Structure 1
Amino acid sequence: MKTKLALHQRTLTLHRHPKRNNETLQAWDAGDEYLINHMEELDIAPGKHILILNDSFGALSCWFALNHQVTLMSDSHIAHQATQQNLADNQSNNITLCSTLANVPAHVDYVLMQIPRNNRYLTWQLNQLRLSLGKAVPVIAVNKAKEIHSSTLKLFEKYLGSTHTSLAWKKHRLVFSTPDAPNAIAVDPITKWKVEPHKFELKNLPNVYSGEKLDQGARFMLEHLPNGLTTERVIDLGCGNGVLSVKLGLDNPDISITCVDESYMATASAKENLLDALGSDRQIESITNNCLDGFQIDSAELVLCNPPFHQQQAITDHIAWQMFCDAKHVLCNDGKLLVIGNRHLGYDVKLSKLFGKPKVKLIASNKKFVILQATK
């Protein structure tokens, strides 16, 4: 696995976050290289304010921090952590880091964007740029060529302005856009929908996973959450919009709930949904974090987990493994980890290796999903 990005007589050392032994995935891709090459060909004067959106692990931020003022906006806590570490490793200049919940900064000269997979999130980001940027500010976005559809370009044109594309290079394409759309179209950041038949409503910020409808895994998990809990401390790990926590809190009024996700929009949505459903007098907390970093041992009796099986655009199982390891660390003796996953992912093998096979049992299954319980 390469850790050296060498371009234009410069070399950066870049790592994904968290660092892993025998890492097989790079901390940058050809899209990052394409953006860097394009900007270097422009030969812009030093000291420009470059706004970078959705930098996965800080490659773009580290590159442009050498000669420019850089602001990185990302919804990913892990992207923030990776960027800070890579800046330090390369003795790079400091940059401004903020979540995409913040306002677009003033006096931007260029915008560089990794196009997100979520079109609702893309639409919202384009709208924020249109409302905040001067009409002369270039917006240069990148993605794999196969992911840039005519519908993607129509979103740029509708919500931002004049748009055209580059030729493909290493299977990636640049999108050039200008914030000159005649009328800024209002975009509500919140999507609301009811969870039937459970009779509560969820609010979803633009980058929340499955933010437009209930995903099948969560729907199945809702049918098998425990009742009759007393004062248990519960952690909802990878909480998304908090749907599992809301249901568990409604059915078990004396538990305390901590929602954890690496998405700032997810934890903000989960907090709002818990407050709406359970009220402000309940013991609830919502934390943006990398899994359970910094959580104390013996700090929970129950952990709920619906693990992702990708990081950014890469399919990987290391996040699920870290979640399982962290859950075991924070659980008290006889504490339980309740996991849902696609049948083909083989979580029973991982959990048996970690907790011991006699401590893992099947709670429920259907054609697509299994729900497993592991006891510490």
Structure 2
Amino acid sequence: MPAGRRIVILRVSRAADPAMSNAPIQLAELPLQRYPATQEPTLLAFDAADQYLLTRLAEEQPAATPLLVINDNFGSLATALALQGRQVHSWGDSWMAWQALQHNLQANGLAAEAVQFFNSQQIPDQHYAQVLLRIPKSLSLLQDQLQRLRPQLQDHALLLAGSMLKHLPPTAGDLLAAQIGPYQASLAWKKARLLQCRRDPALQPAAKPLDSRYPLEGTPLTLHNHPGVFSRERLDIGTRVLLPCITADLGEARVVDLGCGNGALGLMAAWRNPQARLTFIDESWAAVASARQNFQAAFPDRTAEFIVSDGLSEATAASCDLILCNPPFHQQQVVGDRIARRLFRQSQRALVPGGRLLVVGNRHLGYHLTLQKIFRQVRQLAANPKFVVLEAGNS
């Protein structure tokens, strides 16, 4: 924290305690689900930070303009507010979060139009007086959102930012202060904390370019990265281990970069195989935008397909010859192999007979055991002390 900056502790009144009878709508009382749905009782579609945000917001008079919710992990905040009759806009980068919002609106008897959604490559179209923000783990994404949000805020607009304490970046408040106005930090409640600020009309923050670039090793290509994209500062170790396994004998193969991020794997496949037909898929709008920009810059005379979706869930069966995948090992802040297992099952369905899935992962995740339950053949292609590259197929 810069010297001389004072943090004011924001105390939420006792009357607004979520345990009190006059509390705002209780998320635990609503039929809310994560996406993908899970039967694990500890994995909920909301947390204490979501409830804390609703509690604090209940102390404010509703604004005449729509309320904006940013980074609503599973659409729970927007759904709860829409149930109260609020006009709600939602802004985020996750296709899965958007899909969860659609499911939760329907489960609560609301039409999809009850909440207007803007993806991360769009800008919400109102001048907002009230905003709820779930603080993302990526500070570059947070800064980008705040820079683009500020012109859409009314003077003295209220921004309430929430996070679980263990996931709260220590400099998140500094970004709020630099981009919006002085902030106040709340007392902790159920291991959650709020940061509150209002748009200071006298503040004149300088817009900072936040995109990053670095070379794709072994090629003359450059990887351009939007804020929040995985591995935006440097090529991650897992991708680096997988890249040499992408051969130059693919001909006109239909190649999918699954969970593409900035598109490094697909770009290498395209570089080594001038006739290959590429598809880039990710659930992040920013990732797919980065991959599209990188492909178009590298191969201006070639075409490729760019899809924001839940992996290969919408792919035609037997439509892919080769799938390249460096799967995520977490969803939001929950670590595990759930998403990887889902991508593996989708890949098995999407591959042609004789098609192959190349996947890289940490050794301790034991992907070889998971893949052996889905594919008939699994073999190791490469490894280092931390990562292993596996090839899976049904031929």
TM over 0.5: yes
1:49 aligns with 2:49: no
C-alpha displacement of 1:106 = 1.6
CA deviation profile, 1:86-105 (whole Å, cap 9, x unmatched): 00110135110110211132
Q: In the alignment, what sits opposite 1:63?
A: 80
The alpha-carbon distance between structure 1 residues 9 and 22, as it changes in their structure 2 partners (threshold 3 A), is closer
Q: In the alignment, what sits opposite 2:375?
A: 355
C-alpha displacement of 1:232 = 0.5
Match among 218, 242, 245 for residue 263 of structure 2? 242
Counterpart-to-counterpart distance in 2, 1:232 and 1:309: 28
Counterpart-to-counterpart distance in 2, 1:149 and 1:329: 40
Q: How does 1:223-302 map to 2 (within 5 A)?
A: 223-279=244-300, 281-302=301-322
1:34 aligns with 2:52: yes
> What is the percentage of aligned positions where both structures have the same residue?
37
Counterpart-to-counterpart distance in 2, 1:22 and 1:148: 25
Counterpart-to-counterpart distance in 2, 1:186 and 1:336: 45
SS at match of 1:210: coil
**Quick check: 1:48–1:68 contact (8 Å CA) kept in 2?**
no
C-alpha displacement of 1:8 = 4.2
The alpha-carbon distance between structure 1 residues 200 and 46, as it changes in their structure 2 partners (threshold 3 A), is closer
1:78 aligns with 2:96: yes
Q: How does 1:362-373 map to 2 (within 5 A)?
A: 362-373=380-391
Counterpart-to-counterpart distance in 2, 1:288 and 1:206: 17
**Quick check: 2:24–2:54 contact (8 Å CA) kept in 1?**
no
SS at match of 1:41: coil
Structure 1 consecutive aligned stretches of length 4 or more whose deviation exceeds 6 Å: none
Q: How does 1:117-266 map to 2 (within 5 A)?
A: 117-180=137-200, 182-266=203-287
Q: In the alignment, what sits opposite 2:15?
A: none
- Alignment root-mean-square deviation, CA: 1.7
Q: In the alignment, what sits opposite 2:31?
A: 13
The alpha-carbon distance between structure 1 residues 54 and 149, as it changes in their structure 2 partners (threshold 3 A), is closer
C-alpha displacement of 1:315 = 1.0
**Quick check: 1:257–1:285 contact (8 Å CA) kept in 2?**
yes
Q: In the alignment, what sits opposite 2:336?
A: 316
User: Bigger shift: 237-246 or 154-163?
Assistant: 154-163
1:99 aligns with 2:116: no
C-alpha displacement of 1:159 = 2.1
User: Bigger shift: 264-273 or 219-228?
Assistant: 219-228
Tell me which amino acid in the other structure corresponds to 1:291: G
Counterpart-to-counterpart distance in 1, 2:25 and 2:393: 54
Match among 118, 121, 128 for residue 108 of structure 1? 128
SS at match of 1:355: coil
CA deviation profile, 1:50-83 (whole Å, cap 9, x unmatched): 1000000011001111321100001000000000
**Quick check: 1:295–1:330 contact (8 Å CA) kept in 2?**
yes
Tell me which amino acid in the other structure corresponds to 2:366: G
Counterpart-to-counterpart distance in 2, 1:221 and 1:338: 8
Unaligned runs of 5+ in 1: 1-5
**Quick check: 2:63–2:130 contact (8 Å CA) kept in 1?**
no
**Quick check: 2:226–2:287 contact (8 Å CA) kept in 1?**
yes
Match among 307, 326, 344 for residue 346 of structure 2? 326
C-alpha displacement of 1:145 = 2.1
Counterpart-to-counterpart distance in 2, 1:186 and 1:205: 15
CA deviation profile, 1:23-74 (whole Å, cap 9, x unmatched): 64101001001011111233x2475511000000011001111321100001
User: Bigger shift: 187-196 or 221-230?
Assistant: 187-196
Identify the structure with bigger relative contact order (alpha carbons < 8 Å, sequence gap 6+).
Answer: 2
Counterpart-to-counterpart distance in 1, 2:169 and 2:45: 25
Counterpart-to-counterpart distance in 2, 1:146 and 1:346: 27
Unaligned runs of 5+ in 2: 1-20
Q: In the alignment, what sits opposite 1:3?
A: none
Normalised TM-score (structure 1): 0.93
Counterpart-to-counterpart distance in 2, 1:9 and 1:212: 41
CA deviation profile, 1:137-180 (whole Å, cap 9, x unmatched): 00100012244354222121112221111101011100011222
1:339 aligns with 2:362: no
Tell me which amino acid in the other structure corresponds to 1:231: E
User: Bigger shift: 241-250 or 188-197?
Assistant: 188-197
Counterpart-to-counterpart distance in 2, 1:353 and 1:214: 30
Tell me which amino acid in the other structure corresponds to 1:59: S
SS at match of 2:323: strand
